[in-house]
A = this chain, B = another copy of it.
Amino acid sequence: MIVVMRSGATQKEVSGVEALIREMELTPQAIVGTDLTVVAVLGDDRKKDGDRLEQAAGVDRVMKVLQPYKLAMRADERQRSAVTLGGPQTRSEAVVIGGDAAGVPVIAGPCSVEGEREILAAAEACKAAGADALRGGAFKPRTNPYSFQGFGEDGLKMLAAARDATGLPVVTEVLTPTDVDLVSKYADCLQVGTRNSQNYKLLEACGKSDKPVLLKRGMAMTLDELLQASEYVLSGGNQDVILCERGIRTFENHTRNTLSLSAVAELHRVSHLPVVIDPSHGTGKAHLVPSMALAAAAAGCDGLAIEVHPEPAKALTDGAQSITPAVLAELMPKLKKVAEAVA
């Protein structure tokens, strides 16, 4: 941290700040400038709270220097973690996301599991279109309490059946700590959704799961906060975390959210974790999904999560942002070409 003193701060105030820093078991180093004085803090201050210093007499503000995450941080330029979804233990095809994996794996499927027959049909259509994994919600976090909330455990069973039939590993959302074991039993990857991205008790519980975690960015989350959220899972012992950008909330009104694709290169710069893009929630409009999926691939993402529904107009949830299997089938070879172009 760097403590910036107010212009006109007294020597006594500077000494007070130095004392406070020593109390925090860190080392102060004052730098007296022509216009003002700053006090640099030496030592690992990542776990220290700058608030104390900000409140001290004569202090104008405190600037952080060290990143507040350690496990998610990239040690060197070559470190790129790979996370595997599925494999022999669930008799599905193993899908590798991140690391040196070529191409852009696509996790596709409907927003919600809408019935046994429906999810099976969707999974088969996604598989035929070239998707690599299946998504679908059994537990749905709905803004409105009167909206369809998902089938719960029955939905998980339907997903597992669809996996058995197609070999596609399954990604599905978990909403609360007590459901982590249940969802881990059926799924190949736990999704922590946007609305729960700072539900730390849930993240802690996911840190104890033996299944990978797809962690979605919150609507108003900075990348620093996303990495700190991932740190909850990582520090719990689960190393298989995939970060997912799915759009942030801004003043824009032509989309449901603003998909911030610069997150891909920036997260890769500071972290070794793989980054998946969700162009469906990131735009909220089916007609924008293909171009943003291609853009995400060109930006270097490690995978895509796309809402696909055989009949979007009949979807129980999120129909407006779901593409059809036919659109996905047309998209897949282009994605491959783009990924090759930027490799």
Residue ranges of A at the interface with B (Cβ–Cβ < 8 Å): 2, 4, 20, 29, 31, 33-36, 38, 40, 42-44, 46-47, 49-57, 63, 65-66, 68-69, 141-148, 175-178, 195-196, 198-202, 218-220, 222-225, 228-229, 231-232, 235, 248-255, 258-266, 269, 282-283, 285-288, 291-292, 294-300, 312-322, 334, 337-338, 340-342
Contact = CB atoms under 8 A, between A and B. Distances in A.
A254 B222 contact: yes
Contacts of A148: 49
B264 A291 contact: yes
Contact of A313 (B55, B220, B251, B285): B55
Secondary structure class of chain A's binding surface, majority of residues = mixed
A33 B40 contact: yes
25 contacts: A2-B63, A4-B65, A29-B31, A38-B40, A51-B317, A51-B320, A52-B313, A53-B313, A56-B313, A63-B63, A141-B200, A145-B235, A175-B200, A195-B198, A219-B219, A220-B248, A250-B250, A250-B251, A255-B262, A258-B258, A262-B292, A265-B292, A294-B341, A295-B299, A338-B341
Nearest to A223: B254
A340 B57 CA distance: 30
A17 to B, nearest CB: 10
A258 B33 CA distance: 33
A274 to B, nearest CB: 15
A52 B319 contact: yes
A316 B141 CA distance: 33
A39 B38 CA distance: 12
Contacts of A262: 254-255, 258-259, 282-283, 288, 291-292
B200 A142 contact: yes
Contacts of A144: 46-47, 68-69, 228, 231
A222 B36 contact: no
A247 to B, nearest CB: 9
Contacts of A314: 52
A236 B248 CA distance: 30
B269 A287 contact: yes
A269 B254 CA distance: 11
A49 B319 contact: yes
Contact of A177 (B46, B63, B176, B292): B176
Contact of A36 (B66, B220, B228): B66
A148 to B, nearest CB: 8
Contacts of A219: 218-220
B249 A38 contact: no
Contact of A342 (B54, B175, B287, B294): B294
Which of A20, A65, A222, A248 has the most C-beta atoms of chain B within 10 angstroms of its own C-beta? A65
A9 to B, nearest CB: 13
Contacts of A218: 219-220
B54 A319 contact: yes
Contacts of A231: 144-146
Given A220-B219, A255-B266, A286-B55, A31 B33 contact: no
A309 B337 CA distance: 31
A34 B43 CA distance: 6
